[in-house]
Amino acid sequence: MLSRVAESLFWMSRYFERAENTARFLDVNFNLLLDLNKITPIENPNYWIALILVTSDKVRFNNQYNEYTARSVTDYLVFNKDNPNSIISCIGLARENARSIIESISSEMWEQVNNLYHYLQNITPQYVHNDPYSFYKEIKNASHLFQGITDNTFSHNEGWDFIQIAKYLERSDNIARLIDVKYHMLLSEAQSQPEIVEGSEDIIQWMAVLKSCSALEAFRKVYLSKIDPDNILRFLILDRTFPRSINFSVCAAEDALWRISGSSRHRYVNNADRLIGKMEAELSYTAIEDIYAKGLHVYLEDLEQRLVKVGEQVHLTYFAYHTPEIESSDIAEALPFTGIAGGRPNWSQAQQHQQQQ
Amino acid sequence: MSRFFERYEADAVRFFDEVISKEGIPRPHYNKLLHRFGQFSIDDIKARREIVNIFFRNQGITFTVYGEDEGVERIFPFDLIPRVVPAHEWQTIEKGLVQRIKALNEFLYDIYHTQKILKDKIIPPELILGSQHFRREFVGVNPPLGIYIHITGSDIIRDGAGNYLVLEDNLRTPSGVSYMLQNRQAMKRAFPVLFDKYKIRPIENYPQELLRTLQEISPDSRREPNVVVLTPGIYNSAYFEHSFLARQMGVELTEGKDLVVNDNKVYTRTTRGLERVDVIYRRVDDAFLDPLVFRPDSKLGVAGLVNAYRKGNVTLANAIGTGVADDKVIYSFVPAIIKYYLGEDPILQNVPTWLASNPSDLKYILENLGSLVVKAANESGGYGMLVGPESTIEQQETFAEMIVANPRNYIAQPTISLSRHPSFFNDTDLWGCHIDLRPYVLYGKTVTIVPGGLTRVALKRGSLVVNSSQGGGSKDTWVVDE
């Protein structure tokens, strides 16, 4: 297929997944604060800072807002058009990519992207404030519907595989960020208020992490009621069967990449295959103790960087308009990303658009 | 008659009304339609309007208006009342168009080869050789089958007596065919019952016919031709159409950056390497096609494309340089062109045209600016146009200066009151709105015209301009067998 089409399928899928994850983060935070009885009148800014840290654009946020409140953070993550990762920006970019390949995707897929786009144009901050639950559910359902439509109306060939790669790379990255930030926050709270380390508030927060990955019920089936950080990390990072765990997502991205190139377990064809294969192998043979030995934060950060590298190699192998020599390192200069916003890969199209009548 | 039509004032004396005759009674081919609409309440119409709006919005059927900052995209206005063309009238149009397109193609072949028509002094050579669309570098190039104009969309209007006249031959990259196809889909969704009552000739095969035409002009008949559509990109006003046609034909939609020329052959860049291209249905103007030959600043084209074309390794549809024949000045010579090449009288007439380059015509134009329509020879889309009766004295003076400064670039025509067709202004009242018709003509081994075309309607009250860029809309067009 055309490289440009493959690239647009990739970013369409990636931005849709990103929007869904942001909706999940926000949704769970509201629920968490309700559980902890902290939503008003005195909102605890720590809980809202966390969301900005997950999406890691603290600087951009601080340029525009003075305080971390439900309203400011919601506005920034849902509506702010200057934030390339806000839900409205993500869906706008997903739609723009879809629009540029409208002849390649099924018309049902286009209708779904377009519907969500128009739905968002009519949503006010007040609406989200009054009924956050319904709003985030709408976003999550729209994303699930899109994936279902894609699975059932779009041929499962190369293009579909690019959609899967994008979705699972984005998802692994989001889970890693979420764990990292929550862990960080809980740790710092534990240090400042040592008396609640073992308290129920802690458990509620970890449950929130699970919930934002729709993982609470699945987790319980595996670990019964034993909610402790070790098991939660084991589940979200290493579980091979739960679709919102990192290991599962990396495996799924690997499958899709290998289907495209024809790589197999003992033989890789390009660097994208090599890097994803290495990640998958390591995840499969890692125990939670290994992660602790390395330090959770260091481990997750390393994971995020390796996901970025896989994305770069996918770009060079399939989208870049020249055939790259296979080289293992030092590719940063060749990257097309005009800026990695908040450390997250973003789509950029060549800036020139000549108008012609 | 329907309550909508009871309140409809046709003004059939001043204008040719498509539905109501001069005697004030409905034309027979509209009877069933009027009867059906008579059974609708205002709420019925509103409900159907909603179905249509959702259909268009979901399909992303939008266009872009230049020179406006507000939202980039707008839904193309669609009128719910279809236009009905009886089969015998269609037959005349069809024959006339086939004749016209064949003659124009012979003209182009001649202009880019021996230029016999210029030597025989049928057309003054300076009009051709001085035209900005004449591509001297293509003299002697032989396109496959000798065809230059594979896809055209002539604009046809009706005068006060109901005669069909050709207003423009669009021989470069005419747009709108996707609206023709989508309008039919929308009508089927909103008024399924109407389709039982009429024998409406189908148009849904247009994409297949288009693909067949494009495959027929492949330079290499030994293998399955690889056809692509070339678009300027998603910011072009007709982008929806480009992608729609590519999807309907099942071919790749490419932008300039998807194509690469190597050793005078054209390839697409794919995830698996380069793939050879045989035919390009290009929706990019000549000037943007190849930065090495035309505009060096063009980012829409492909470096080396023109040489690949000259070498005969790829076919462009339409060919380069066809604009020389749809220049509004050359337009006035089309009846002579038909006579010259085919030895036939034109079946479809032209609108009378005065050329500013002709001194006696120039005098007439300048004296009658208030009643004429003046057009720049090389503009399209309703830009660069003066509609005399609707213009101010200042506008007329500006145009007079422009005409005198560059007479070759202007023509004038009488203000023809285009025929009118009842159309919904809102969902409660019908108004007589001016319409035209753009049938789409395909020319491969044979000439194919799907029955009907795009009926454009000037939805601004009293306006004569039907272009989508100037607030026009469209309606479904039915060729019906009686």
Q: Render pLDDT for A134-161 as a digit per residue (tens, 0 to 9).
A: 999 999 999 999 999 999 999 999 999 9
Chain A residues 39-78 within an 8 A CB cutoff of chain B: none
DSSP letters spanning B162-219: --EEEEE---S----HHHHHHHHHHHHHH-TTHHHHS-BPP-TTHHHHHHHHHHHT-S
Task: Please answer yes or no on whether A4 and B300 come within 8 Å at the CB atom.
Answer: no
Q: pLDDT band for position B37 (50/70/90)?
A: confident
Contact residues, chain A, for B238 at CB < 8 Å: none
Task: Identify the domain boundary among A119, A154, A189.
Answer: A154
For residue A205, which phi and psi values (nearest 5 degrees)?
-65, -45
| Rounded Cα–Cα distance for residues A232 and A242 (Å) | 12
Q: Which of A325-339, B23-37, B40-54 has the lowest mean pLDDT?
A: A325-339
CB neighbour list of residue B98: distance below 8 Å, 6 or more residues apart: B441, B447, B449
Cis geometry, peptide bond prior to residue A41 (ω within 30 degrees of 0): yes
Residue A297 included in any domain: yes
Q: What tokens does A288 get?
A: 């939670």
Task: Please answer yes or no on whether A3 and B254 come within 8 Å at the CB atom.
Answer: no
Residue A162 included in any domain: no
Which residue from B minimizes the CA distance to A261?
Answer: B272
Residue A160 included in any domain: no
In this predicted structure, the answer to whether residue A336 has a pLDDT above a threshold of 50 is no
Nearest by CB: B258 against A4, A99, A158: A4
| Rounded Cα–Cα distance for residues B84 and B200 (Å) | 9
Task: Tell me the shortest Cα–Cα distance from A43 to chain B, in angstroms.
Answer: 38
Tell me, rounded to whole angstroms, the distance of Cα B211 from its chain centroid. 19
Which residue from A minimizes the CA distance to B250?
Answer: A103
Contact residues, chain B, for A260 at CB < 8 Å: 271
Q: pLDDT band for position B8 (50/70/90)?
A: confident
In this predicted structure, the answer to whether residue A322 has a pLDDT above a threshold of 70 is no
- Pair B85, B480: CB distance under 8 Å: yes
pLDDT on residue A75: 94
Assess whether A103 and A203 both reside in one domain. Answer: no
Between B380 and B102, the more confident residue is B102
Residue A348 included in any domain: no
| Rounded Cα–Cα distance for residues A270 and B26 (Å) | 72
Nearest by CB: B252 against A2, A107, A357: A2
pLDDT on residue A196: 41
Q: What tokens does B245 get?
A: 């046609």
Please state, rounded to an integer, the average pLDDT across all residues of chain A.
Answer: 83
Provide the sign of the torsion angle of the four alpha carbons B287, B293, B297, B303, taken in this order.
Answer: positive
Task: Tell me the shortest Cα–Cα distance from A174 to chain B, in angstroms.
Answer: 27
- Which helix (H) or strand (E) segment holds residue B274: the answer is strand B273-276
Task: Please answer yes or no on whether A354 and B258 come within 8 Å at the CB atom.
Answer: no
Task: Please answer yes or no on whether A2 and B380 come within 8 Å at the CB atom.
Answer: no
Q: pLDDT band for position B314 (50/70/90)?
A: very high
| Rounded Cα–Cα distance for residues A211 and A311 (Å) | 27
In this predicted structure, the answer to whether residue A191 has a pLDDT above a threshold of 60 is no
- Pair B354, B411: CB distance under 8 Å: yes
| ipTM above threshold 0.90 | no
pLDDT on residue B66: 54
| Rounded Cα–Cα distance for residues B464 and B418 (Å) | 7
pLDDT on residue B311: 93
Residue A350 included in any domain: no
Residue A204 included in any domain: yes
Question: What spatial distance separates the first Cα and last Cα of chain A, rounded to whole Å?
Answer: 29
Q: pLDDT band for position A41 (50/70/90)?
A: very low
Segments forming the whole domain that contains residue A270? 176-325
pLDDT on residue B462: 64
pLDDT on residue B331: 92
Nearest by CB: A356 against B236, B254, B297: B236
Nearest by CB: B253 against A6, A103, A355: A103
Please give the tally of structural domains in chain A: 2
Task: Tell me the shortest Cα–Cα distance from B371 to chain A, in angstroms.
Answer: 29
Task: Tell me the shortest Cα–Cα distance from A155 to chain B, in angstroms.
Answer: 14
CB contact burial B322-350 (16+ within 10 A = b; e otherwise): bbbbbbbbbbbbbbebbebbeeeebbbeb
Q: Which of A283-292, B92-101, B289-298 has the lowest mean pLDDT?
A: B289-298
Contact residues, chain A, for B297 at CB < 8 Å: 354
Task: Tell me the shortest Cα–Cα distance from A107 to chain B, in angstroms.
Answer: 7
Q: pLDDT band for position A35 (50/70/90)?
A: confident
Assess whether A4 and A100 both reside in one domain. Answer: yes
Q: What tokens does A236 get?
A: 């979200």
Contact residues, chain B, for A323 at CB < 8 Å: 273
Task: Please answer yes or no on whether A323 and B273 come within 8 Å at the CB atom.
Answer: yes
- Pair A1, B270: CB distance under 8 Å: yes
Top residue of B271, B285, B383 to mutate, by most chain A CBs within 10 Å, is: B271
Contact residues, chain B, for A352 at CB < 8 Å: 299
A63-120 per-position pLDDT tens digit: 999 888 888 999 999 999 999 999 999 999 999 999 888 888 998 999 999 999 999 9
Contact residues, chain B, for A318 at CB < 8 Å: 271
Give residue ranges of B with CB < 8 Å to any A CB: 57-60, 66, 232-237, 239-240, 243-244, 246-247, 252-255, 257-258, 260, 268-271, 273, 284-285, 288, 297-300, 380-381, 383, 469
Rounded to whole angstroms, what are the CA distances from B80 to A26, B31, B371? 44, 16, 33
Residue identified by tokens 């073992």 is A198
Contact residues, chain B, for A12 at CB < 8 Å: none
| Rounded Cα–Cα distance for residues A138 and B79 (Å) | 34
Task: Please answer yes or no on whether A350 and B257 come within 8 Å at the CB atom.
Answer: yes
A260 touches B: beta carbon within 8 Å: yes
Tell me, rounded to whole angstroms, the distance of Cα A344 from its chain centroid. 9
Q: Which of A197-206, A242-251, B355-364 has the lowest mean pLDDT?
A: A197-206
Provide the sign of the torsion angle of the four alpha carbons B139, B141, B147, B148, taken in this order.
Answer: negative
CB neighbour list of residue A205: distance below 8 Å, 6 or more residues apart: A32, A182, A186
Task: Please answer yes or no on whether A100 and B59 come within 8 Å at the CB atom.
Answer: no
A350 touches B: beta carbon within 8 Å: yes
| Rounded Cα–Cα distance for residues B448 and B211 (Å) | 12
Rounded to whole angstroms, what are the CA distances from B462 to B10, B343, B466, B478? 13, 40, 11, 24
Residue identified by tokens 């786009």 is A117
Q: What is the mean pLDDT of residues B60-80?
A: 64
Task: Tell me the shortest Cα–Cα distance from B428 to chain A, in angstroms.
Answer: 27
- Longest CA pairwise span in chain A (Å): 70
Q: What tokens does A10 get?
A: 């990739």
Task: Tell me the shortest Cα–Cα distance from B183 to chain A, in angstroms.
Answer: 17
CATH 3.30.1490.270 boundaries in chain B: 352-415
pLDDT on residue A175: 93
B337-360 per-position pLDDT tens digit: 999 999 999 999 999 999 998 899
Q: pLDDT band for position B13 (50/70/90)?
A: confident
* Total residues belonging to chain B: 482
Rounded to whole angstroms, what are the CA distances from A291 to A249, A300, A302, B112, B208? 18, 9, 11, 75, 59
Residue A345 included in any domain: no
Task: Please answer yes or no on whether A260 and B380 come within 8 Å at the CB atom.
Answer: no
Task: Please answer yes or no on whether A102 and B273 come within 8 Å at the CB atom.
Answer: no
Task: Tell me the shortest Cα–Cα distance from B284 to chain A, in angstroms.
Answer: 8
Task: Please answer yes or no on whether A350 and B269 come within 8 Å at the CB atom.
Answer: no
Q: Which amino acid is at B241?
A: E
Assign domain B352-415 to a CATH class. alpha beta
pLDDT on residue B230: 97
* Total residues belonging to chain A: 357
| Rounded Cα–Cα distance for residues B160 and A221 (Å) | 80
Assess whether A42 and A95 both reside in one domain. Answer: yes
Rounded to whole angstroms, what are the CA distances from A134 to A2, A90, A128, A142? 39, 19, 8, 12
B262-283 per-position pLDDT tens digit: 999 999 999 988 899 999 999 9
Nearest by CB: A2 against B235, B270, B284: B270
Between A54 and B395, the more confident residue is B395
Which residue from B minimizes the CA distance to A6?
Answer: B271
DSSP letters spanning A170-215: HHHHHHHHHHHHHHHHHHHHHHH-GGGTTSHHHHHHHHHHHHHTT-
Q: Are strands B454-458 and B273-276 parallel, antiparallel or unpaired?
A: unpaired
- Pair B10, B432: CB distance under 8 Å: yes
Task: Tell me the shortest Cα–Cα distance from A144 to chain B, in angstroms.
Answer: 19
Rounded to whole angstroms, what are the CA distances from A176 to A209, A258, A284, A312? 11, 23, 16, 18
Q: Which of B166-175, B277-286, B373-382 has the lowest mean pLDDT?
A: B373-382
pLDDT on residue A202: 73
Q: How much is the pTM?
A: 0.80
Q: What tokens does B168 get?
A: 């423009």
- Pair B237, B63: CB distance under 8 Å: yes
Q: What tokens does A179 get?
A: 């764990």
B92-138 per-position pLDDT tens digit: 999 999 999 999 999 999 999 999 999 999 999 988 988 888 998 89
Task: Identify the domain boundary among A106, A121, A154.
Answer: A154
Assess whether A248 and A294 both reside in one domain. Answer: yes
Nearest by CB: A102 against B60, B258, B288: B60
pLDDT on residue A344: 75
Tell me how many degrees the CA angle B396-B401-B403 measures, rounded to the nearest 5: 90
- Which helix (H) or strand (E) segment holds residue B438: the answer is strand B430-438
A108 touches B: beta carbon within 8 Å: no
Contact residues, chain A, for B235 at CB < 8 Å: 353, 355
CB neighbour list of residue B166: distance below 8 Å, 6 or more residues apart: B96, B100, B154, B155, B156, B334, B348, B349, B350, B351
| Rounded Cα–Cα distance for residues A110 and A103 (Å) | 9
CA neighbor of B252 nearest in space, from B285, B280, B218, B274: B280
Contact residues, chain A, for B258 at CB < 8 Å: 2-4
| Alpha helices (H) along chain A | 3-35, 45-54, 58-64, 70-74, 87-100, 107-121, 125-130, 132-153, 158-192, 200-212, 216-223, 229-233, 246-261, 271-284, 288-294, 296-314
Residue A341 included in any domain: no
Task: Please answer yes or no on whether B257 and A321 come within 8 Å at the CB atom.
Answer: yes
Task: Please answer yes or no on whether B299 and A352 come within 8 Å at the CB atom.
Answer: yes
Assess whether A7 and A150 both reside in one domain. Answer: yes
Q: pLDDT band for position A350 (50/70/90)?
A: very low
A4 touches B: beta carbon within 8 Å: yes
CB neighbour list of residue B453: distance below 8 Å, 6 or more residues apart: B153, B156, B180, B437, B438, B439, B440, B477
- Pair B320, B143: CB distance under 8 Å: no
